[in-house]
Amino acid sequence: MKTIIRKIRRDTGAYTEQEKEALRLAGNIIREGGLVAFPTETVYGLGGDALNPASSRKIYAAKGRPSDNPLIVHIADREALGRIVRDIPESAVKLADAFWPGPLTMILEKSDPVPRETTGGLDTVAVRMPSDPVARELIRLSGGYIAAPSANLSGKPSPTVAKYVVQDMDGRIDMILDGGDVEIGLESTIVDLTSPVPTVLRPGYVTVQMLRETVGEVQEDCTMMRDDSGQAPKAPGMKYRHYAPRGELTVVDGAREDVVNYINTQIGLLRAQNKKSGVIGTDADIERYRADVCRSVGDRGSEDTVARRLYRVLREFDDEDVEVIYAEAFDTDGIGQAVMNRLLKAAGYRVVRV
């Protein structure tokens, strides 16, 4: 399959004629059952018509994703919600008022128009209203309901720049809208509203604290921050190896000096074995590491920057064929919880405390 690739600016509503034409083409492709990768404020999505079972099957095939791993349905306006869920609880209204459009996904009871192919066989559906202007326009032009997982091959870090969408999806889907770098860089927060107490299944930019301030009591799924191999996570997707670079990744937690010393000692050992090493650090210490490839995810104090850069850095290690990677650990308050959740999963929960 020849994949059409078109550039589009995400920071303006005033599209050029070429951009308008690209959006219309993308919308038509989705309406006709095809697949289009597009930017959102979280990560790039791989979109198909959420109400067409054949489109969802194509999404699973293009990603190599297990078909019991449900997709998130993206909508552009609040009216669209009523058609795909059985009931809109008070908590959903409050959360939508506070965080939509934006990086929050809600799990609700699905209604009949949503095929089981889209929900991985479940009776519930995940719904999000993105804020990204390109995503919103595309949703409108393609009929109102786009099922979209992240636009990466299953298991790889989600793409935050179009280059990695092209790397994974060129030849596998109909079209890619290249909107440059995304803003947030981590997938949406997922909150399950079908349980008696709202439960966070995946942390993200909207933090647990922010959710509590809006709806009161909120639980965290027990598999969120630790090894879930023995548990059945409520978000089926979280059980799969995720976000992972090809190299073996270990997170190193401890006092700053101890972390730098431990990592440099390990790098010395790797060098003796002729293994290519990498480090994920932060601005303050990155110059001190002796690895073959050292990448800073930014200033430790600026969690937003760390979130935005993490996946790109994980991908860059693959580009450089790094075999063993060490990463500094991060505090788990605020969006730091989402950063550590992804890093721990990418590392398969390999953590060294020094």
Q: Which residues bind ligand AMP (CB under 6 A)?
A: 69-72, 107, 119, 122, 124-126, 149-150, 187, 190, 201, 234-238
Q: How far is the CB of 149 from Mg ion (least distance, A)?
A: 5
CB–CB of 328/347 below 8 Å?
no
For residue 85, is it left (φ>0), alpha (ψ between -120 and 50) or beta? beta
Q: How far is the CB of 194 from ligand AMP (least distance, A)?
A: 8
Closest CA to 11 of 132, 101, 100: 132
Instruction: Choose the one of ligand AMP, Mg ion, none that binds residue 119, judging by a C-beta under 5 to 8 angstroms depending on kind.
Output: ligand AMP
User: Cβ-count burial of 16 within 10 angstroms (0-12 exposed, 13-18 middle, 19+ buried)?
Assistant: exposed
Q: How far is the CB of 151 from Mg ion (least distance, A)?
A: 9
Q: How far is the CB of 69 from Mg ion (least distance, A)?
A: 9
The span from the CA of 62 to the CA of 18, in Å, is 27
Closest CA to 224 of 250, 244, 242, 251: 242
For residues 70 and 130, which CB has a smaller minimum distance to ligand AMP in the complex?
70
Residue found under tokens 């104090």 = 301
For residues 137 and 221, which CB has a smaller minimum distance to ligand AMP in the complex?
221
Instruction: Choose the one of ligand AMP, Mg ion, none that binds residue 117, judging by a C-beta under 5 to 8 angstroms depending on kind.
Output: none
For residue 102, is it left (φ>0), alpha (ψ between -120 and 50) or beta? left
Residue of this chain nearest to ligand AMP (CB atom): 237
**Contact residue for Mg ion among 150, 188, 199, 341 (CB under 5 A):** 150
Instruction: Choose the one of ligand AMP, Mg ion, none that binds residue 70, judging by a C-beta under 5 to 8 angstroms depending on kind.
Output: ligand AMP
For residues 70 and 133, which CB has a smaller minimum distance to ligand AMP in the complex?
70
CB–CB of 198/191 below 8 Å?
yes
CB–CB of 236/124 below 8 Å?
no
For residues 40 and 150, which CB has a smaller minimum distance to Mg ion in the complex?
150
CB–CB of 169/97 below 8 Å?
no
User: Cβ-count burial of 311 within 10 angstroms (0-12 exposed, 13-18 middle, 19+ buried)?
Assistant: buried
Instruction: Choose the one of ligand AMP, Mg ion, none that binds residue 5, judging by a C-beta under 5 to 8 angstroms depending on kind.
Output: none
Instruction: Give me the helix-helix angle, 133-141 and 17-31, nearest 10°.
Output: 50
CB–CB of 200/191 below 8 Å?
yes
Instruction: Choose the one of Mg ion, ligand AMP, none that binds residue 352, judging by a C-beta under 5 to 8 angstroms depending on kind.
Output: none
Contacts with Mg ion by CB under 5 A: the residue count is 1
Q: How far is the CB of 304 from Mg ion (least distance, A)?
A: 20
Instruction: Choose the one of Mg ion, ligand AMP, none that binds residue 249, judging by a C-beta under 5 to 8 angstroms depending on kind.
Output: none
Q: How far is the CB of 99 from ligand AMP (least distance, A)?
A: 16
Residue of this chain nearest to Mg ion (CB atom): 150
For residues 295 and 342, which CB has a smaller minimum distance to ligand AMP in the complex?
342
Q: How far is the CB of 35 from ligand AMP (least distance, A)?
A: 14
- Residues lying near Mg ion in the complex (CB under 5 A) are found at 150
